[in-house]
Chains A and B, each alone.
Chain A
Amino acid sequence: MGWLASFFLATAFIPSLVSASILGDAARQLAHRIASVTGPGAIALDITNRSSLDDKSVRELRSALEAQLRTEGVRTANADESMGSVQVTLSESIREYVWSAEIVIGSDERGVVLVSAPRAQAGAVPASAMPLLLRKSFLFTQQQPILDAALVEMSGGPRLLLLDASQVAVYRQQGGRWEQEASLTITHSRTFPRDLRGRLLLLRRDHLFDVHLPGTVCRSSATPPLTLACNDSDDPWPLTTDDGGVRAFFAPARNFFTGALSPGIGKVSNGPSFYSAAALPRSGYTLWTLAAVDGSIHMLDGMTDQVIRGAKWGSQLAAVHSSCGTGMQLLVSENGDPEQDSVRAFEIPDRDPVAVSSPAEFDGPIMVLWTDGSGNGAIAIVKRQDTGWYEAYRISISCGS
């Protein structure tokens, strides 16, 4: 009978977000402790749920508890057929589930037994359905803030590089999952700002990737085994994925680019302080779009600086190649509800942005939006509102109807 109850506990009692074995053990302990107070016989069992367990879980728990009590020689019955009553309350603290059983035997003999079980951490939630024009592909999730991510082909198959405050983690696909293969530590002598930003740029001239962080730059080795060498540096960050484009100085103790450009955009070597920038090639020139720190949008063509206010755009811009429309779109994080942020594609046929996609929605603010190494997509990092975890996505544009 005991093995049957154990089997039941291990297989049937699986409330949402809770490990069956952990709660199964707790139910077993509770039954044992109740039985140690009541001794064998009949009891009236009442269960009250004051926790976040759902009704189905409570029903399963009740069955499991009764089964385990039976193995202890205690059966449940109506109050008038019982030697006593057991009031079980399913409660929880901030850390754990706490189940109490108040046991009354005879007229006034009252005992309390308690057991606890750790509450499960909320896990990663898979990506939601794709919209028609913007395709978002879930890459990875973790608790630590992700600053950038990149997919790269290497010998032995594709790798996912994840940049956070302390490392570049290298993941390799194994059986449909990303398994960590290496961790390249980031060393830095300067204090990082609170809203830390970082950029992972692939396929540099003579090595695999660079990492740009405020006041710090790191360079990887060219071939496996990968290593990473970091130095203090105030050198400007590349604004495009190619090595020879416009670069901008990043304020080492802040979260924005200062506006100083090297080389400049045409004749413009000083723009406004900005969070992000994107380049849209035109015939004869490149139109740069900057999300300025003051919330305005600046469009620089090398000669003029056109300012757009009240665009309701967020801080993140990225330019992405596609085979649709003009062949180059601007992905923009929208300045809406921080609990459900979104990205939308725009084109700028003349000087006014025109939305060319419906928004791709995310369950939390978009922390990062960088053009990826191929230029055909963007990496978006989202902080989920419900779990607080960070999710990396690749966003690309398809020419769907």
Chain B
Amino acid sequence: MRRIAFLFLAAASLLDVALGATRPRYGGTLRVMLQSAPNSLELLADGTPVDYWDAARILAMLADNLVEIDGAGHAQPALALTWQSDLNGKRWQFTLRRGVKFHDGSAASAAAIAQILGERHSDWTVRGAGDSLTIESDSPMSSLLAELALPRNTILKRTANALPVGTGAFRVTDFQSGKLLKLAANEESWAGRPFVDAVEVELGRSQRDQAIALELGKTDLIEVSPQATAANGTQRVRTSLSVELMALVFPANSKAQDVRVREALSFAIDRKPIQSVLLKGAGEPTASILPNWMTGYSRVFPAQANLQRAKVVLTDSRQPALTLSYDPRDPQAQLIAERIALNAREIGITLQVLLSGIADVSLIRIVLPSSDPATSLREAARELGLQQPLIHGSSVDDLYQAERTLLDGHTVIPLFHLPVASAAGARVRNWQPGPTGNWNLSDVWLEADSR
């Protein structure tokens, strides 16, 4: 049995509280504003990236996963302390942390966690006994740890009115659908009580409203556009690594059935000016699904426009008039779609930009949810409507070949990798959003109003 992780000092990463020159202080209410206005506290199947981040950040306060993935992409203990798998990765065994309780006081036992995970994954056989949990599958699960660290695999139950009951640092005290979420510190948190007493999350607030509220000191933590310039003295902006992909996607019934048309369009799009002007320098132009920080090879996929090559590819092909839709909820999408239409016209392809709906090609933005590249590639394939990639091994070459295969048919044209950003007010201390866009609010503390 291959030993994947050995007894790790479980508390270590959780106790790793970076301080300023003074120790963290307990108390106070952290005020947060988010854009999305959910009617339920869960990940939405058809949500936007903003919906995803907001739900993931809320769930991370309420619940834990079996493992976490750190900034370097390595699994770290959370509810599970140790784990090991058999040689082919079909059977995994986890040793769980003892004494952990859900917010309702019930034990987060192996049996309870097995039931939660088993209900979510019909293709897994999940068993729990004592402090041991096993997950089995008919097919190898080489990326199981990264999968278990995804927000969709947070370990939580639901109350009768569907509110989440987790093991996290905060518990729900009030939820007003689409408006307000109030959380209180979980005194029994297995990782130690969080420093703030409460968190109040105002939902459905536009980025502009959030920025004004932060400026006026009426909130502590907001989402900002990655284009926002940093720090005006009262706030600190933190930008993640690139964790979103903007791409063109051709559905199966697209009129662009000729691969040459799709390939030519990929050569014709001049990504750099769009990134410089419309995205105000945020993100990176790309022709790969996964960003370079995940794989190291994204530059092998050339992202430079090449009109000459595009025209050569189009030789002797029929060029139908196509429609291009964009998501109106995405503030930059319309201008980018119109610019792409201009690029297409230069090689003789007509793209009519539509507000939304069924089109021959869609401009979409998806989340790359894991720092584990194989997991993100699988998630991206699912979001983009591609076949699941076949990743034959764990080498960078295996990953490259799988991504190359996904892109070969040009049914997806990657355009930009984009970060997410957030800003905190001056009284927020030890705010260290993760490089992959996650927040860790349980280690945040608030400066006393007066000293």
Contact = CB atoms under 8 A, between A and B. Distances in A.
Partners in one complex: yes
Report which residue of B15, B21, B297, B373 has the largest number of chain A beta carbons within 10 angstroms of its beta carbon: B21
A166 B136 CA distance: 32
A91 B296 contact: yes
A253 B72 CA distance: 30
Given A295-B448, A314-B21, A333-B21, A100 B297 contact: yes
Interface in B352-404: 371, 373, 395-397, 400
Nearest to A147: B15
Contacts, number: 142
B73 A112 contact: no
Label chain B's interface by main secondary structure: loop
Interface residues of A, number: 54
Nearest to B187: A253
A365 B396 CA distance: 38
A310 B450 CA distance: 10
A114 B393 CA distance: 14
Given A100-B299, A253-B193, A293-B25, A95 B18 contact: no
A53 to B, nearest CB: 12
A194 B294 contact: no
B299 A50 contact: yes
Interface stretch (B6-14, B252-260, B268-276, B338-346): B6-14
A66 interface: no
A255 B23 contact: yes
Interface string A220-236: 00000000000000000
Label chain A's interface by main secondary structure: loop
A327 interface: no
Report which residue of A94, A114, A164, A275 has the largest number of chain B beta carbons within 10 angstroms of its beta carbon: A94
Nearest to A340: B21
B73 A94 contact: yes
A275 B136 CA distance: 49
Contact of A102 (B22, B294, B300, B397): B300
Nearest to A335: B21
Interface string A363-376: 00111000000000
Contacts of A366: 21
Interface in A248-277: 253-256, 275
A254 B16 CA distance: 15
Contact of A94 (B72, B193, B297): B72
A193 interface: yes
B17 interface: yes
Interface of B: 9, 11-12, 14-26, 71-73, 187-195, 241, 292-297, 299-300, 371, 373, 395-397, 400, 435, 442-443, 448, 451
Closest 3 CB pairs of A and B: A98-B296, A338-B20, A194-B192
